[in-house]
């Protein structure tokens, strides 16, 4: 089972809010992300998840919300015994993937997401992006012939590519593609991601993430910056500048991953399942109750024997935790004996 962490485009106004209210593991993970975030800025994740207004946040807060939702889902899956064989991430999702692989600590991952999104916010209103159902060769030739300030920003599948540029150049590019009968779809963004517009952000971004440290991956990490499996000691600050500036080599990375295995897209809404293929299982779904979506995911994973902890153990462990808290708040002569027995039982449940 490989984990696929998507990036922008997976968001929707009410994402994760019901899960935050209902699931203790998810809520605890969001709280831990908030603690890390508060060390570097005054933004609040919890305000988003508890606010009744379902408005989509601006990019400088949106990316850290998507990241925290991915980590919350990841933690729930880990508690159910999911053991991924590898990870891959798309753009923003690479930071979540690096955390899941053990390359980044939570504090460092939050730092990269925060300053990445803060810097990107400076480009609002400067351009947009276009999805094109064609390969790179067609796009390269068209861009060159028209002499446009347009960049290929992502390779999602063999014939599914994204480009970025100014509003005017993207419109001109789209008109030409339609003339030669190449299908396109506009993307609802006002920032030209992964292209030449990013160059002006790199010096500030480098300054803001200096001091971030990296560890060797605990599970294989497939890079969408290089399009191949990441080797030990390869991760640097410069890597995250390339992640921000260069095209996303998602198709190339997927091409060197194991064929015939299951993929699980961890995101507020599945946006990469079409590029991944039929073996991709979704997590949350736009507009659907979070608990229902995640329960459907857990049932699907259980059906394929991809979870090692069953729901009974999860529910019993949660109830034991409540009993333990009660005993600590209401001490008595048998307190230590009961606590020791509960902790022994939790130990065995965690390994069941």
Looking at residue 312, its pLDDT comes to 40
Return the bridge partners of 248, or none.
Answer: 154
HEC states along 259-279?
A: CCCCEEEECCCCCCHHHHCCC
Q: How far is Cα 164 from Cα 151, in angstroms, rounded to an integer?
A: 5
> What are the sequence ranges of the domains in the chain?
2-123+196-303, 128-187, 311-350
Q: Assign domain 128-187 to a CATH class.
A: alpha beta
pLDDT one-digit tens code per residue, 165-185: 999 999 999 999 999 999 999
pLDDT (tens digit per residue) in 222-238 = 999 999 999 877 899 99
Question: Which pLDDT score, from 0 to 100, does residue 315 have?
Answer: 45
Would the pTM count as exceeding 0.85? Answer: yes
Q: In the CATH scheme, what is the code of domain 2-123+196-303?
A: 3.40.366.10
pLDDT per residue as tens digits for the range 311-348: 444 444 445 555 555 556 666 655 555 555 555 554 44
Mean pLDDT, contiguous 10-residue spans, the chain (352 residues): 92 91 94 96 93 81 96 94 94 98 97 97 96 90 89 94 96 94 92 97 97 95 96 89 97 85 92 84 91 91 81 47 57 57 48 40
Burial of 24 (0-12, 13-18, 19+ CB in 10 A): exposed
Do 128-187 and 2-123+196-303 fall under one CATH topology? no
pLDDT at 55: 78
Alpha-carbon distance of 181 to 177, in angstroms, equals 6
| pLDDT score recorded for residue 326 | 56
Q: Say what the pLDDT of residue 338 is.
A: 57
CA atoms 29, 31, 32, 38: torsion sign: positive
How does DSSP assign 51-104, residue by residue?
Answer: -S---PPPHHHHHHHHHHHHHHHHHHHHHTT---SEEEE-TTHHHHHHHHTTSS
């Amino acid at each position: 089972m490989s984990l696929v962490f998507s990036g922008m485009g997976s968001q929707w106004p009410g994402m994760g809010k019901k899960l935050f209210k209902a699931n203790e593991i998810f809520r605890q993970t969001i709280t831990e992300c908030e603690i890390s975030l508060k060390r570097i800025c005054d933004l609040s994740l919890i305000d988003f998840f508890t606010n009744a207004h379902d408005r989509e946040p601006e990019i400088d807060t949106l990316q850290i919300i998507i990241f925290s939702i991915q980590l919350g889902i990841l933690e729930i899956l880990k508690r159910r015994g999911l053991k991924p064989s590898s990870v891959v991430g798309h753009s923003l999702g690479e930071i979540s993937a690096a955390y899941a692989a053990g390359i980044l600590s939570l504090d460092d991952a939050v730092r990269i997401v925060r300053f990445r999104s803060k810097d990107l916010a400076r480009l609002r209103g400067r351009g947009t992006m276009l999805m094109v159902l064609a390969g790179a060769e067609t796009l390269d030739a068209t861009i060159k012939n028209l002499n446009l300030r347009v960049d290929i920003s992502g390779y999602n599948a063999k014939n599914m590519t994204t480009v970025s540029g100014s509003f005017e150049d993207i419109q001109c590019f789209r008109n030409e593609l339609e003339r030669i009968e190449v299908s396109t779809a506009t993307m609802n963004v006002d920032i030209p991601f992964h292209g030449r517009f990013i160059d002006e952000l790199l010096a500030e971004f480098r300054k803001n993430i200096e001091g971030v440290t990296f560890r060797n991956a605990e599970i294989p990490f497939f890079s969408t910056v290089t399009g191949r499996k990441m080797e030990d000691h390869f991760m640097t600050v410069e890597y995250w500048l390339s992640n921000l500036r260069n095209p996303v080599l998602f198709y190339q990375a997927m091409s060197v991953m194991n064929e015939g295995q299951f993929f699980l897209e961890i995101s507020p809404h599945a946006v990469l399942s079409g590029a991944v293929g039929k073996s991709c299982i979704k997590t949350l779904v736009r507009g659907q109750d979070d608990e229902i979506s995640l329960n459907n995911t857990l049932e699907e994973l259980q059906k394929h024997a991809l979870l090692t902890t069953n729901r009974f153990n999860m529910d019993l462990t949660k109830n034991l935790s409540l009993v333990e808290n009660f005993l600590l708040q209401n001490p008595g002569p048998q307190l230590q004996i009961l606590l020791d027995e509960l902790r022994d039982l939790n130990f065995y449940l965690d390994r069941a």
